[in-house]
């Protein structure tokens, strides 16, 4: 079975974080010495092996704690929803977001992943102001 490979341009913030991570991994590799097993992984255990789901969740909880966020309320999987919601809220077309997520169409992106950050009520008020311009402004 052939693995899917997509090219994705990264924001400068991500590029910087990945470079810092590479430097930290180089130090980890030196500390591990002969125990290091090279597998070419970007994210690896302290000895170069693949991370399992428990490693990922534990590391994620550590990051949440450092950020002052409640670790019990977040999972790594929720980052998918946040990614889609933030892009959607910024005005990116749903077709482009679906393509970034690797979805073949927009249905899953819209129904499963896109959660509105701003309340829908705000959209209603904006629409009403557009329909009835000048109302309530002393006119």
Q: Is residue 30, in this structure, part of any structural domain at all?
A: yes
Same domain, 30 and 84: no
Residue 9: pLDDT over 70: yes
Distance CA 46, CA 30 (A): 10
Residues in the chain: 139
Mean of pLDDT values over 29-43: 95
pLDDT at 43: 93
pLDDT at 24: 96
Tally the domains of the chain. Answer: 2
Q: Is residue 1, in this structure, part of any structural domain at all?
A: no
Tell me the angle at which helices 78-89 and 94-101 cross, rounded to the nearest 10 degrees: 150
Would the CA dihedral through 122, 126, 132, 137 be positive or negative? positive
Which tens digit of pLDDT belongs to each residue from 92-127? 888 998 988 888 898 888 888 777 655 555 666 777
Q: Are 51 and 44 in contact (CB under 8 A)?
A: yes
Same domain, 18 and 70: yes
Q: Higher model confidence: residue 86 or residue 115?
A: 86
Q: Is residue 107, in this structure, part of any structural domain at all?
A: yes
Indicate the average pLDDT of the chain: 84
* CA separation, residue 104 to residues 1, 60, 85, 97 (Å): 19, 29, 18, 11
21-25, 67-71, 73-77 — most confident range: 21-25
Which structural domain, as residue segments, surrounds residue 35? 11-74
Mean of pLDDT values over 30-40: 96
Distance CA 79, CA 49 (A): 24
Same domain, 18 and 55: yes
Same domain, 56 and 81: no
The helix/strand/coil state of 46 is coil
């Amino acid at each position: 079975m052939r693995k899917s490979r997509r090219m994705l341009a990264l924001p400068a913030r991500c590029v910087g974080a990945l470079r810092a991570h590479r430097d930290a991994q180089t130090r980890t590799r030196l500390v591990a010495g002969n125990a290091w097993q090279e597998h070419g992984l970007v994210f690896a255990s302290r000895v170069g092996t693949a991370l399992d789901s428990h490693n990922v969740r534990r590391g994620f909880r550590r990051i949440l704690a450092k950020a002052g966020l409640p670790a019990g309320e977040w999972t790594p999987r929720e980052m998918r929803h946040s990614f889609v919601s933030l892009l959607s809220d910024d005005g990116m077309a749903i077709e482009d977001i679906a393509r970034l997520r690797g979805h073949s169409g927009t249905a899953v992106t819209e129904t499963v992943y896109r959660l509105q950050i701003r309340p829908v009520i705000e959209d209603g008020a904006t629409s009403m102001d557009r329909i009835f311009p000048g109302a309530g402004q002393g006119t």
